Amino acid sequence: MSNFTRLESALGYHFTNQKLLQEALTHKSCASTKNNERLEFLGDAVLDLLVGEYLFKKFAHFDEGRLSKMRASLVNEKSFASFARDLGVADFLVLSMSEEQNYGRQKDSLLSNAFEAIMGAMYLEAGIDKVREILGKILEKFYPNMRFENLLTDYKTALQELTQERFGVLPSYELLAQRGPDHKKEFFIQVCIHDAIYAKASGNSKKSAQQACAKLAYEELIKESTSQKHLQKDTQKNTQNQKESKKDSKQKNKHNEKESYTKDKKHKKPKSAKKSQKKAQK
């Protein structure tokens, strides 16, 4: 039985070459053995291609800009570390003693690199189709209802682009306060658009607080946009209904006038008939 059975079961693929998988799990701190840096390099390229292909097919109506942002939100250290944790990669990492003592198994960077290396190893052994299959399952598991808004990580950039497009201005961030000791500070930020406060948020750094603010403001603007679209649709629908109602009313009036004219015509006697009646009376 393989030493990596549990990992392979979670992955959905059995490596014929177990040494290749071991190499993919070996950190560079282990100087005396082959490490995973080369496989990581290969896996990074393969994942970049396959995630791009996945998004290209799944979101056929999206332009290059949106697809690039979505790929960037998936092809990164945080995402790959999450995939690695779900697979249980941390339990199989081969680390030096110093890296072990430095909590290497918990580091996003090490887990992300190992995930890329595993994908690179799989590509070498089984080809790109197998990696595409496995990666597709992982993405569907983590993002069952994948949407552009849900994948955004850089909300500051997204908000900036949205406000420029809609208002022709950039959002401004203001530090309201900072509390706590130096090693555990909390920053309170607000974001304004056209001097109107759109959101307030806090974070353990100015950057994280600004991102939290930007996310709230971005979502608020999207809601406003959606409400306006619904209002426009309702207005257009009401206008159309009024037009159709007027049209029906006109047609009904014409029909009534025609019926009235026909009835009047039936009740009126012809002049020749009136003259004949008068002669008969004489």
Run of H or E residues at 192: strand 186-193
Locus of tokens 């997204």 = 158
Instruction: State both tokens at 36.
Output: 């995973």
> Using CA atoms, how far apart are residues 10 and 138, in angstroms rounded to an integer?
10
113 is in an annotated binding site: yes
Going by C-alpha positions, the residue among 119, 218, 116, 109 that lies closest to residue 160 is 218
DSSP 66-77: HHHHHHHHHSSH
40 is in an annotated binding site: yes
Residue pair 25/107 in contact by the 8 Å Cβ criterion: no
8, 23, 37, 44: the active-site residue: 44
116 is in an annotated binding site: yes
Phi and psi at residue 93, to the nearest 5°: -65, 140
Query: Is 195 a known active-site residue?
Result: no
> Using CA atoms, how far apart are residues 116 and 83, in angstroms rounded to an integer?
10
23, 91, 108, 116: the active-site residue: 116
Query: Is 116 a known active-site residue?
Result: yes
Going by C-alpha positions, the residue among 192, 188, 132 that lies closest to residue 163 is 192
**How far, CA to CA in Å, does 218 sit from each of 22, 65, 147?**
44, 17, 15
Catalytic center residues: 44, 116
Annotated binding-site positions? 40, 113, 116
Annotated binding-site positions for Mg(2+)? 40, 113, 116
